[in-house]
Amino acid sequence: MAAIEIKNLNFVYSAGTPFEKHALKDINLTIEEGSFVGVVGATGSGKSTLIQHLNGLIKLQDKKHSSVFVNGMDASKRATLKKLRFEVGMVFQYPEYQLFADTVAKDIAFGPKNMKLSKEEIDARVARALEVVGLDYDKIASRSPFDLSGGEKRRVAIAGVIAMQPKILVLDEPVAGLDPIGREEILALIKKLHEEVSPTVILVSHNMDDIAVLADRIVAISDGRLVADCSPKEFFADRQLVKDIGLDLPMAARITDALVQKGVPLSADIVSLTELADALSALKEGAHV
């Protein structure tokens, strides 16, 4: 069974007013359990609208023709809505702006508490979540989340989501506004979460370098339409498409293009700096032989 199955999804904002916007047009998408999917698209392309359908934050508009199924649950069914939300953990942009409790532990416990777990189970999950995001329980659990640094706040917010131990984790621009070290740390954390906590990860990002390295599949949306659904290599090899939908190439691909222009024979499917380094050193070896 696929983790996520979306059929003919359409969505229109403010229908019948001057603000009308057709945000999603006939989206069909199946995501297998265990995959790491990168969702890319320009600002306002419909990415956020799409992911909010996954846990019923946005209701299906046309139930007759379209459907969203998550782990076999109909996302439009009210009866299973809570269960759905615990299975799809969603980390929104700037998640630290949702912190509210007076201690870090209480904030992380919010999700598990809503799941009506036992007190022991909640405490265990809070401790485990803090450990996974790399924060020291003894030092931080009883502090106020508002006294932490930006990077720590974001970790706490992410811990609040993974404490529900969701099978599917959706992250919307998780590294926006962080410094370079903070970015690296969060990206490493996401990789770890994919391996240890949530088998299926959906990452929405404007940063093509992150997507190229992390995702094993790319779903590109432009003006509400699904325009590509393939591996990062195939996606970025189509330079024209990437440009047309208003996206950047990963740094490695840009360097490759610049080198190719100077006459260095490199293939267009290089997307990460490691691959580029490998290709270049292979060239150098070849020159020596």
| Interacting residues toward other proteins by CB under 8 A | 16-18, 52, 55, 57, 82, 85-86, 88-90, 92, 95, 97-101, 110-111, 114-115, 146, 160-161, 164
**Which DSSP symbol is given to 248?**
P
Contact present, 22 and 224 (Cβ < 8 Å): yes
Beta carbon nearer to other proteins, 93 or 281: 93
Beta carbon nearer to other proteins, 172 or 275: 172
Beta carbon nearer to other proteins, 85 or 194: 85
Q: How would you classify residue 267: left for phi > 0, otherwise alpha for psi between -120 and 50, otherwise beta?
A: beta
Beta carbon nearer to other proteins, 68 or 249: 68
Q: How far is the CB of 100 from other proteins (least distance, A)?
A: 4
Q: How far is the CB of 114 from other proteins (least distance, A)?
A: 3
Q: How far is the CB of 41 from other proteins (least distance, A)?
A: 19
Beta carbon nearer to other proteins, 36 or 92: 92
**Which DSSP symbol is given to 38?**
E
Name residue 119's amino acid: K
| CA atoms within a 13 Å half-sphere pointing along the CA-CB vector of 83 | 12
- Would you call 175 helix, strand, or coil by DSSP? coil
Beta carbon nearer to other proteins, 18 or 180: 18
Name residue 153's amino acid: K
CA–CA distances in Å: residue 139 to residues 103, 131, 144: 12, 12, 11
Helix (H) or strand (E) holding 280: helix 273-288
CA–CA distances in Å: residue 160 to residues 70, 170, 214: 21, 13, 22
Q: How far is the CB of 11 from other proteins (least distance, A)?
A: 13
Q: How far is the CB of 101 from other proteins (least distance, A)?
A: 8
Q: How far is the CB of 103 from other proteins (least distance, A)?
A: 13
- Would you call 39 helix, strand, or coil by DSSP? strand
